[in-house]
Structure 1
């Protein structure tokens, strides 16, 4: 799939009469094109169904969805990090967190686009002749059910007040729908995933050129996650307090027991965050990206955008104005306090953060009598990236002094294998800054092709433990304690003798930091407002790394959800805005 997705040009722009028309930093609009032919004309063969299904992956991974806007919604919005990029602004709790900001509108629109086209596949594909290849036909329909569920899952946990697309919209009136109760949307999502799990193939069905296409294991993992999220979120915020911990535990147990094929932790934690080891044994759901080093033909919403992971908002400070991100110091400190059985700093810190690894609190591993150093882009070490100035060994940047109070930058999602390049006289090969300044190829935001491992087996093990500790019935071949200790063992940490929910929560911080889960962990645990208020009161730099100094703070009963985009409010009188906006 990863090496084919860029060829999906037709169906990415044909979806229920919609046409993407944006190519600037602002997402212009979706308009109905009366001259566009009906999608029915393209559904004539198994190949056309496949093209339509592949387009669903394209909608999800294009930069205006999870490739840029949607990913920052999940990562920067948590308590882990801060960003001065436009993409990260909704996560900075300032004036840009509003219903008209484009990075809030874009994923909302594209997730609905995904749901619309998935509905069309679900309705049209059964009528296409696949001959005797029923398994392939079922696989395509199963993929459509999966991505319709995923789209609604994303919309529900971020925007809350939504109206699901249960059938393919065929006229303007079909887009005027009232919001449904969250519990009804959850049920619809779960029904789609149950159907997807029934129809999808098992692990190993797809050929190597189709890496990344979903399987039964992906459907079970997302279904279990939805049961777990629903149980927590609705208990805290909903009217229906029914919990589904038994159902969540069952789904995770089946994955652990190998019902859908063998999944396992990779021996090397770092293999989950690079290009060389994508789609590995730990991956259950992986969003596929291709780097577009030359930034050619960028067209938001279309396959020609490159489907890269646009890393703006995650870049190291000093790499480029408007691109940068920092990690809040509490997360750095949490890793420092995690020491393995041999007295070394938790190995996961070195795949998660970029920091001064020569700081006295860091205990570096030794190899042949020498410390194993952390390197940044192009192999540069911290002191080469940030030469000491005035006694400081932190972010010694001149382009962004707001970075100075922070101890670490972001590594996950970045391809540090790309070199730093300058020509003979020090002038950067990549244009953009003056002579004598080192320029990073990795600074080109659309050069990053690192896949987003959206659900890893480690996450499944930790969610399984959480579900059982919350009262779910274990059906797995291992106990929750054994599951958590498997995760810890890979990091060479001592086994826990017993297990509590607090242990699971802490392990999720260390194992899954900056992977887009933390905000929703706090949300479903009912700890979001308390956590943000505590950090705002204790850390004078919390969420202060912004391009404009307008941090307004987390507001309870408002910021739990993103605002419904103003275009939706203006065109659909049946939808109400979320409270506080």
Structure 2
């Protein structure tokens, strides 16, 4: 849950990529805009809080205005459902476009996620453009804003490829900047600069709901791994986190998700139960019988098989058979109404207004990225440092050697292959929106998703590795914004 209080709940109206030429027509009178806001340190802090709000997104079951951004709350559509991890119930509606690999440029989730990321960027830019108001807290505020902006651009470039680069406040007349796609390499350079600044500006925080040095180090390492370069720098960043001893794996995998004040979570998006402004509904969407007769996000047979074979103790806290629909398997990492059989207490009296936080970076991911950095694109490794990180993950999952048979060392890892690492990432981080990005980063997305598509009667092709640019944005650009191939 969030442990910091919002200083001020303001509607901050600023131009965004998705606003278009009709932005602020008529000019609103009930908000502070333009040169009048912000004008002091307190108001600047409220803008910074609004950047976190933008990442948090709006609970669509509480606030039903379709024009609102839902950000993190809908990310599973464009990540997990676009992979071989989850699917819709029967390929229905816009959700079904992801598991069938028939995503259209008019898909509402594609547009929502795109505009949500630019909402984060726009508000972060407003903070950075007024950083001189921050006084002695300037470095920390700048670091947080740049971390959040870097995260938003990282989400965009991985999902859409070349995208417009907005690095400051933008005027309505600046249509060329809003709609000119910039090369992925330049976007990554910009992201790296933001994360590097955050590393130099931030320190330890008392809550994972705010950006920290370790969060920036972990995300920068992931950027380097995604680029397939700077493996040494990535390893160094990850070892800084490991050697800091600020974080550790929870002894019980369940506690990662249901004891949120834990030492494993490095950066999370906080939510507050039964609060129309700060609750979330992805728990209800993922749990088919919770607050709804059916949800939209079910576990695939392939993910079930992987968890059953390789998940160990993690499997029971990652998936379960839906009691109301016994032929379906659901995600259970964010159960808001509890589960007595699994020892999970209720966290929200109304599951459609849940308070379970979303984890963006946790220590287990750091350990697995550490192995990946040491592999450095190679086929396998016997590095003792890599083995130690990998073994720590497996031990927590109950895959250690049999304590009653010390001569049985079958589960002691002596070599790690890229395939081993990809499997371990899948079962450790299942349904946490990593799978599609991992497949792309490991260079196996086309092969894996082709096989998955063929087995399930879908229509995957290589062009499905990127989402389409939203058609709304293309129309708004009057021809300036180009579409990705295949759409």
Name the TM tier (shorter chain).
0.7 to 0.9
1:114 pairs with 2:120? yes
Q: Which residue of 2 aligns with 1:170?
A: 171
- Alpha-carbon deviation of 1:219? 0.6
Gaps of 5+ in 1: 22-27, 232-242, 297-303, 339-344, 356-381, 387-394, 397-403, 420-439, 541-551
**3-state SS, counterpart of residue 292 of structure 2:** coil
TM-score by length of 2: 0.84
TM-score by length of 1: 0.71
CA contact (8 A) 2:266 2:363 kept: yes
Q: Of the candidates 218, 237, 240, which is equivalent to residue 251 of structure 1?
A: 237
Q: Which residue of 1 aligns with 2:408?
A: none
Structure 1 residues 523-538: aligned runs within 5 Å: 523-538=440-455
Structure 1 residues 233-248: aligned runs within 5 Å: 243-248=229-234
Which has the larger share of helix?
2
Q: Of the candidates 33, 36, 42, which is equivalent to residue 38 of structure 1?
A: 33
**3-state SS, counterpart of residue 237 of structure 2:** helix
* CA displacement 1:450-493 (0-9 Å, x = unmatched): 11111111001001101111269xxxx97011000011111121
1:98 pairs with 2:92? no
- Alpha-carbon deviation of 1:211? 5.1
- Alpha-carbon deviation of 1:413? 2.7
CA distance in 1, matches of 2:99, 2:13: 33
Once structures 1 and 2 are overlaid, which stretch shifts more, 152-161 or 495-504? 495-504
Q: Which residue of 2 aligns with 1:263?
A: 247
CA gap 1:471/1:78 in 2 versus in 1, 3 angstroms: closer
CA distance in 2, matches of 1:90, 1:178: 27
CA contact (8 A) 2:9 2:46 kept: no
- Alpha-carbon deviation of 1:218? 0.6
CA distance in 2, matches of 1:102, 1:312: 19
CA gap 1:418/1:483 in 2 versus in 1, 3 angstroms: closer
CA contact (8 A) 1:289 1:307 kept: yes
Give the CA RMSD over aligned residues.
3.0
CA contact (8 A) 2:286 2:295 kept: yes
Structure 1 residues 170-319: aligned runs within 5 Å: 170-173=171-174, 175-200=177-202, 202-204=203-205, 206=206, 212-231=209-228, 243-258=229-244, 262-274=246-258, 277-292=259-274, 304=277, 306-316=278-288
- Alpha-carbon deviation of 1:273? 1.5
CA gap 1:29/1:318 in 2 versus in 1, 3 angstroms: farther
CA distance in 2, matches of 1:470, 1:146: 25
Q: Of the candidates 55, 59, 83, which is equivalent to residue 78 of structure 1?
A: 83
- Alpha-carbon deviation of 1:56? 0.5
Structure 1 residues 302-451: aligned runs within 5 Å: 304=277, 306-316=278-288, 320-321=292-293, 323-338=295-310, 346-355=312-321, 385=323, 395-396=325-326, 404=327, 406=328, 408-417=329-338, 446-451=352-357
CA distance in 1, matches of 2:347, 2:356: 14
- Alpha-carbon deviation of 1:3? 5.3
Q: Which residue of 2 aligns with 1:157?
A: 158
**3-state SS, counterpart of residue 284 of structure 1:** strand
- Alpha-carbon deviation of 1:17? 4.4
CA gap 1:257/1:87 in 2 versus in 1, 3 angstroms: farther
CA distance in 1, matches of 2:18, 2:338: 33
Once structures 1 and 2 are overlaid, which stretch shifts more, 498-507 or 455-464? 498-507
* CA displacement 1:350-378 (0-9 Å, x = unmatched): 110013xxxxxxxxxxxxxxxxxxxxxxx
CA contact (8 A) 1:290 1:448 kept: yes
CA contact (8 A) 2:347 2:354 kept: no
**3-state SS, counterpart of residue 43 of structure 1:** coil
CA distance in 2, matches of 1:441, 1:491: 24
- Alpha-carbon deviation of 1:518? 0.6
* CA displacement 1:138-164 (0-9 Å, x = unmatched): 111111111111111111111112011
**3-state SS, counterpart of residue 312 of structure 2:** coil
CA distance in 1, matches of 2:433, 2:449: 17
Q: Of the candidates 368, 390, 412, which is equivalent to residue 462 of structure 1?
A: 368
Q: Of the candidates 53, 62, 73, which is equivalent to residue 48 of structure 2?
A: 53
Matched positions, count: 450
CA distance in 1, matches of 2:95, 2:375: 34
CA contact (8 A) 2:17 2:178 kept: no
